[in-house]
Amino acid sequence: MSELKEVIEAKLASFLLAFMIVASVFGVFVLYEKDAVKQDFVIGIVAPVRGMNAAVAGFIEGMKKYGFDEGRNVAYLIHKGKKEADDALKAMVEKDVDIIFTMTTPLTKKAKTLTADTHVPVVFIMHDPVASGVIDSLVKPGGNLTGVQVHGDTSKALEWLQIIVPDLKHIFVPTGQEGMASTQSLDDLQKAGRQLKVSVVSKMIKTKEELEMALVKMPENIDAIFALHSVLVVSNMDVVEKIALEKRLPIISLHQNKEATIMFGMDGRKAGIQVSRLANQILQGEKPADLPTELVDYHLGINLQKAQNVGLVISDEVLLQADNVIR
């Protein structure tokens, strides 16, 4: 009887050992599968300016490289255009999205206010986040926002314009009254103009119609049109191009506008990819407060067809230094 008991106990022990091994393996497998399935994310994007479409595309492209595939583990709520942008931003906060990507100073400041009492982080592309009161400092942003700063391109852009147009004496600058980005870039341009002995003739406008009228009535001695960080101007570059062509004047823009002759500023796609890296870090658990705000890389672009249309000759020396040449 005792021998039978020992046989039964031995078989039971073997069975229990086998069961524990299988259970252990199965448990590890289940745990692995659970960990392998990433959490679904919802990302809000507000791009009020038509010229920001490249930044949106670059951001989504960058996020995909980090494993965020639209339709699989991430959904994007994208609002394009200035109209109802504030309402779109409010809706994103109410939906408790995982992160919001904003462009332009006014909307980023609005996002800061709306997310102040929430856990929703914000990444941005904007002119000067410190001077605008959005973050504490570039190195230690504080709060729930970080991103990419654009400020710093204006004076260098005027230097390039003077190199490309050697007889440059007077530039016309239409600008909206949207906030610090337009005001600060105009101040920077005026300072640079004094240093380079270039007269800056500016005109504040509030509507598309005022923009067109200002361009039509600009002084006869103008040598070029300068498009600053103005949502109103950048959104109506077709109007600027039409009149510039009639007056045979080159356009220099701080945005990569297809209507401009010379472009100096951020490359929208690359800036979007730059922001995606910060967004990925935040979604992986990093705090925006601890992620330094980065400076955008500036790029020189030349549109040879537009230059030819207004009779502007671009030297080979400049073309060799350009990051992008449209022929």
Residue 119 lies inside a defined structural domain of this protein: yes
Are 284 and 190 in a shared domain?
no
Are 309 and 160 in a shared domain?
yes
Q: Could you tell me the residue range of the domain that residue 316 belongs to?
A: 154-265+300-326
| β-strand pairing of 41-47 with 74-80 | parallel
Are 188 and 308 in a shared domain?
yes
- What are the C-alpha distances in Å from 248 to residues 175, 212, 253, 313? 20, 16, 16, 13
DSSP type of residue 284: T
Residues 184, 152: Cα–Cα separation, whole Å: 10
Q: What is the pLDDT of residue 22?
A: 42
Q: What is the pLDDT of residue 32?
A: 30
Are 319 and 214 in a shared domain?
yes
Q: Do 96 and 120 touch, CB atoms closer than 8 A?
A: yes
At residue 161, φ and ψ (nearest 5 deg) are: -60, -40
Q: What is the pLDDT of residue 257?
A: 84
Residue 207 lies inside a defined structural domain of this protein: yes
Are 121 and 228 in a shared domain?
no
Residues 93, 81: Cα–Cα separation, whole Å: 18
Residues 326, 302: Cα–Cα separation, whole Å: 6
Instruction: Show the DSSP H helices in the chain as ranges.
Output: 2-36, 53-65, 85-94, 105-114, 154-164, 180-196, 208-216, 231-234, 237-246, 268-283, 304-309, 316-321
Residue 20 lies inside a defined structural domain of this protein: no
Are 126 and 140 in a shared domain?
yes
Are 52 and 85 in a shared domain?
yes
Residue 3 lies inside a defined structural domain of this protein: no
Q: What is the pLDDT of residue 3?
A: 53
Are 258 and 319 in a shared domain?
yes
Count of domains observed in the chain: 2
Q: Do 252 and 260 touch, CB atoms closer than 8 A?
A: yes
Domain of residue 105, CATH code: 3.40.50.2300
Are 255 and 293 in a shared domain?
no
- One digit per residue, the tens of pLDDT, for the chain of length 327 reads 555 455 455 555 555 445 444 444 334 333 333 333 346 999 999 988 776 889 999 999 999 999 999 999 999 999 987 789 999 999 999 999 999 999 988 899 999 999 999 999 999 999 899 999 999 999 999 999 999 998 888 999 999 999 999 899 999 999 987 777 788 889 999 999 999 999 999 999 999 999 999 999 999 999 999 999 888 898 899 999 999 999 999 999 998 888 999 999 888 899 999 999 999 999 999 999 999 999 998 999 999 999 999 999 999 999 999 999 999
Residue 33 lies inside a defined structural domain of this protein: no
Are 115 and 46 in a shared domain?
yes
SS3 percent helix, strand, coil of the chain, rounded to 5, is: 45, 20, 35
Are 85 and 131 in a shared domain?
yes
Residue 139 lies inside a defined structural domain of this protein: yes
Residue 123 lies inside a defined structural domain of this protein: yes
Are 46 and 188 in a shared domain?
no
| Chain-centre distance for alpha carbon 70 | 19
Residue type, 154: T
Q: What is the pLDDT of residue 26?
A: 39
**Is pTM, for the whole model, over 0.85?**
no
Residue 114 lies inside a defined structural domain of this protein: yes
